Chains A and B, each alone.
Chain A
């Protein structure tokens, strides 16, 4: 049965310390995040949590298939690096050699776009705060991208709450079909290819940043032999009822419409998987090859081979999924993805597929890969530059520069679906309709008494032994409707814990 599609995005950002010669990205990332948190402490008395992350319940080595493939490497948990929890319910931390920000749990795709946009603003503010700490001539630059153009990739992951009872194989089948073909609108665009043996002549420009880096169909890894469907089984919620589908195959988008559709269509497809509402299975003969074929095909009409010997195009798969989503809406309604937001997802999904079908360049205000391609083509024509010209790569890199004064994505006319006031609020305030509300409000009000926080619990120290852990195993509880009045009324954390316990 379909459960509400609580969802979120975690983005690893590209980072460079400029003007310092050799620099260590882990140190730079730590400095960036600490600068932001310290800046909050100085400028906003109410929003200064120095609360650490609680690793008690982290188990990234668990595999959703119920076993660990031989020779597979479980992701490690790095407990020693900087980890901050923000009053908007987000986690801002160093992961591997990148600053990473996980949005709070959101109830729909529009909320994800809002808190993802807030994350960009937080990174921009962190850069400015870091600049004030660094010596003259040094600057930390942050890019929202997924590769350095030299074979190194870092991710933008999505998470969706799902019903535990759904057979994982059914998820694999339909999620793969969607992930391979949704690249049509989720791609952030990339100059050239970083896959071995693919020349600039063959692929001067492709739809996505990530397709080059996927080598497996299903698996647990995230940094090596990346799989199209990731099997990490770490629900961060009641593991009897839920799973969290961890999606590692997407690009980091600057376009709000692209993020909205990436999350919105995926939430709908997964709800249909839960309800067994997808009668037609698109099983690719070679999914990893199909992923690259779609990404490399800017004309969007390359046939993809299915195991039954027939072929489909990515657009045909997307039209089928949209048709089923419409039928699903009539039969079951859109409550699990948010009624209003779900209707907007359907409308925009159809508009984008129509645009891709008739004239992809007409979507230059909607999709990153189109906006970037249009910009690069125009610039190349004006300057007589070939695709291999390093200035073209530089332009593509600057597209995703998060400094407001330098960002090209901010200048190419992308449609906005959030408003600035909502984004500003989302930098410090949590969504009101998930457990992130409880986490964020507690941090804003009782930070000195909070020892640690993570996705599914908070640990309080109110001066009596032992420390008190408040479990949050239901992502739909701890909302404003549930605990708003309680949090307003309690003036001390001890009072809150007493009333929660009664």
Chain B
């Protein structure tokens, strides 16, 4: 249990609000945006054309 407590203290406090949603620093933010743009461009080429209609009609029978 002592080990666990130690690890708990070494990690950021769980109830602070700013950790998960803090914006990335701008230089890596640029890189991330460039990567995402590339991904979205690639995906544009394979997206289903009638996707809206398809998703509306996508009905499955229940299973386990």
User: What B residues does A280 contact at CB under 8 A?
Assistant: 1
Are A248 and B55 CB-contacts (below 8 A) given A323-B3, A408-B46?
A: no
Query: How many residues on B have C-beta within 8 angstroms of the other chain's C-beta atoms?
Result: 33
Contact of A98 among B3, B47, B60 (CB under 8 A): B60
CB–CB A390/B4 < 8 A: no
Q: For chain B, residues 39 to 64, give those with C-beta under 8 angstroms from any C-beta of chain A.
A: 39-40, 42-43, 46-48, 51-52, 54-56, 58-64
| Residue B27 interfacial (CB < 8 Å) | no
Q: Does B7 contact A (CB under 8 A)?
A: yes
Contact with A316, one of B14, B22, B46, B52 (Cβ below 8 angstroms): B14
Beta-carbon contact of B51 and A148 below 8 Å: no
- With a cutoff of 8 Å between Cβ atoms, the chain A residues found around residue B22 in the complex are 359
Q: CB within 8 Å of B: which of A265-318?
A: 280, 299-301, 313, 315-316
Q: Which one of B15, B39, B54, B60 contacts A378 once the chains associate, using CB atoms below 8 Å?
A: B39
Q: Which A residues are in CB contact (< 8 Å) with B15?
A: 301
Q: Smallest Cβ distance from B20 to chain A, in angstroms?
A: 6
Please tell me the number of chain A residues within 8 Å of chain B, measured between CB atoms. 56
> What mask results when residues 368 to 398 of chain A are scored 1 for a CB within 8 Å of chain B, else 0?
0000001100110010000000110111011
Residue A440 at the chain B interface, CB threshold 8 Å: no
Residues of A within 8 A of B42 (CB): 411
Docked pose: A18 CA to B64 CA in angstroms: 23
B63 close to A12 (CB less than 8 A): yes
State A194–B11 Cα separation when bound (angstroms): 35
A18 vs B55: C-alpha distance when bound (angstroms) = 12
Check if B14 sits within 8 Å of A394, measured CB to CB: no
**Of A14, A15, A391, which is within 8 A of B52 by CB?**
A391
Q: Assuming A358-B19, A393-B55, is B11 touching A223 (CB within 8 A)?
A: no
CA of A65 to CA of B60, assembled, Å? 32
A477 at the interface (CB under 8 A from B): no
Residue in chain A with minimal CB distance to B16: A301
In the complex, the answer to whether A374 meets B46 with C-beta atoms within 8 Å is no
Q: Do A394 and B46 touch across chains, with their CB atoms under 8 A apart?
A: no
* Residues on the A chain within 8 Å of B55, using CB: 149, 390, 393-394, 397
Candidates B40, B58, B64; contact of A75 at CB < 8 Å: B64
- A89 CB-CB contact with B under 8 Å: no
Residues in B with CB closer than 8 Å to A43 are none
Q: Which of the candidate stretches A117-125, A150-158, A175-183, A466-474 sits at the interface with the other chain? A: A150-158
Q: Write the A1-45 contact mask toward B (1 if CB under 8 angstroms, else 0).
A: 000000000001011101000000100000000000000000000
The complex places the Cα of A360 from the Cα of B22 at a distance, in Å, of 11
How many whole Å from A377's CB to the nearest CB in chain B? 9
Q: Tell me the bound Cα distance from A16 to B1 in angstroms.
A: 51
Q: Is there contact, CB below 8 Å, between A378 and B11? A: no
Contact across chains for A408 and B58 when beta carbons are under 8 A apart: no
Q: How far is the CB of B58 from chain A (nearest CB, A)?
A: 5
Report the Cα distance A157→B60, complex, angstroms.
Answer: 18
CB of B15 to closest CB in A, whole Å: 7
Closest residue of B by beta carbon distance from A146: B63
Interfacial residues, chain B to chain A (CB-CB below 8 A) = 1, 3-4, 7-8, 11-12, 14-15, 19-22, 36, 39-40, 42-43, 46-48, 51-52, 54-56, 58-64
22 A–B pairs (Cβ distance < 8 Å), ordered by A = A25-B60, A98-B61, A148-B58, A150-B58, A154-B63, A223-B62, A315-B14, A316-B14, A319-B7, A320-B4, A323-B7, A357-B19, A378-B36, A390-B51, A390-B52, A390-B56, A394-B47, A397-B58, A405-B46, A408-B43, A411-B43, A412-B39
Supplied contacts A12-B64, A95-B63, A299-B21, 9 more A-B pairs, CB within 8 Å? A15-B60, A97-B62, A222-B64, A357-B12, A390-B51, A390-B55, A394-B51, A395-B47, A405-B46
